[in-house]
A and B are shown apart, each in its own frame.
Chain A
Amino acid sequence: MTDSRAAKGVAAKKIAPKKTPIPEQDSQARRSNFGEVSLGYTPGQAKLEAARCLNCAKPACVSGCPVGVPIPRFIQALNSGNISTAFDIIKEANLLPAVCGRVCPQESQCEQRCTLGKKFEPVAIGRLERFAADWIMQSGLTEVPKIAPSTNRRVAIVGSGPAGLACAYELAKAGHAVTIYEAFHEPGGVLLYGIPEFRLPKRIVAAEIEVLRKMGVQIVVNAVVGKLISVDELLSEFDACFVATGAGTPKFMCIEGENLNGVYSANEFLTRINFMRSHSFPEYDTPIRKGQRIAVVGGGNVAMDSVRTALRLGAGEGIIVYRRSEEELPARREEVHHAREEGVRFELLTDIVRIIGRDGSVSEIECIKMGLGEPDAGGRRKPVAIKGSEFRIPVDMVIMSIGTNPNPLVPQSTRDLALTTWGYIVADDRTGETSRPGLYAGGDIVTGSATVISAMGAGRRAAEAIHGHVMRKQ
Chain B
Amino acid sequence: MAKILEKRLIRKPDVYFYKIAAPLISKKALPGQFVIIRLHDKGERIPLSLADIDPGEGTISLIVMAVGKTTHEFSTFNAGDDILDLCGPLGQPTHVEKVGRVVLVGGGFGAAPLYPIARAFKAAGNTVTVVMGARSSDLLIYEQEMRQVADRVVITTDDGSKGMKGVVTAALVQELEQHGAGLVVCVGPAIMMKFVAQATRPFKVPTIVSLNPIMVDGTGMCGGCRVIVGGETRFACVDGPEFDGHLVDWDSLMQRQKGYHREERESFEAWKDRHRRMLDKDHQPLCE
Contacts and interface: CB of A to CB of B under 8 A. Distances in A.
Interface of A: 183-185, 221-224, 227-229, 248-250, 252, 254, 258-262, 264-265, 267-268, 271-272, 276-277, 281-289, 360, 407-409
A185 B220 contact: no
Nearest to A361: B259
A289 B260 CA distance: 8
B200 to A, nearest CB: 25
B223 A250 contact: yes
B226 A252 contact: yes
Contacts of A252: 223, 226, 233
Nearest to A246: B221
Nearest to B24: A228
B90 interface: yes
Interface in B39-54: 42-45
10 contacts: A228-B24, A228-B28, A249-B223, A259-B252, A262-B259, A276-B44, A360-B258, A408-B220, A408-B238, A409-B220
B219 A224 contact: yes
Contacts of A222: 85-87
A229 B24 contact: yes
Contacts of B45: 185, 276, 286
Contacts of B260: 287, 289
A285 B69 contact: yes
Given A185-B85, A222-B85, A224-B87, A254 B267 contact: no
B89 A409 contact: no
A359 B82 CA distance: 41
A416 B266 CA distance: 50
B70 A285 contact: yes
A23 B63 CA distance: 54
B35 to A, nearest CB: 9
Given A261-B256, A271-B216, A286-B44, A248 B267 contact: no
B87 A183 contact: yes
B223 A268 contact: yes
A265 B255 contact: no
Contact of A282 (B217, B219, B258, B266): B266
Interface residues of B, number: 45
B259 A267 contact: no
Contacts of B89: 227-228
A258 B233 contact: yes
A282 B43 CA distance: 10
B25 interface: yes
Contact of B264 (A184, A229, A272, A287): A287
B96 interface: no
Contacts of B282: none
Contact of A250 (B85, B87, B222, B228): B222
Contact of A283 (B42, B216, B259): B42
Closest 7 CB pairs of A and B: A287-B263, A268-B222, A285-B44, A248-B221, A222-B87, A360-B255, A261-B259
Contacts of B79: none
B253 to A, nearest CB: 9
Contacts of A286: 44-45, 216
B44 A184 contact: no
A283 B270 CA distance: 9
B224 interface: yes
A410 to B, nearest CB: 11
A71 B257 CA distance: 52
B263 A224 contact: no
Contact of B221 (A261, A267, A277): A267
A225 to B, nearest CB: 10
Nearest to A251: B223
A248 B221 CA distance: 5
A259 B256 contact: yes
B273 to A, nearest CB: 11
A294 B279 CA distance: 42
Given A227-B90, A259-B226, A360-B258, A250 B233 contact: no
Interface in B52-107: 69-70, 84-90
Given A248-B221, A271-B217, A284-B43, 16 more contacts: A183-B87, A185-B87, A223-B87, A249-B221, A249-B235, A259-B228, A264-B224, A267-B221, A271-B222, A281-B263, A282-B266, A285-B43, A285-B44, A360-B255, A407-B219, A408-B220
Contacts of B24: 228-229
B38 interface: yes
A351 to B, nearest CB: 19
Contact of A261 (B69, B258, B267): B258
B44 A407 contact: no
A88 B259 CA distance: 50
Nearest to B42: A284
B183 to A, nearest CB: 24
Nearest to A359: B255
Nearest to A272: B216
Contacts of A227: 28, 88-90
Which of B70, B249, B255 counts the most chain A CB atoms within 10 A?
A: B255
B58 to A, nearest CB: 14
A121 to B, nearest CB: 38
Given A228-B89, A281-B267, A282-B266, A407 B255 contact: no
Interface in B181-234: 216-217, 219-224, 226-228, 232-233
A276 B216 contact: yes
Contacts of B252: 259
Contact of A409 (B84, B219, B258): B219
Contacts of B217: 183-184, 271
Nearest to B259: A261
B34 to A, nearest CB: 11
Contacts of A276: 44-45, 216
Given A271-B217, A285-B70, A224 B44 contact: no
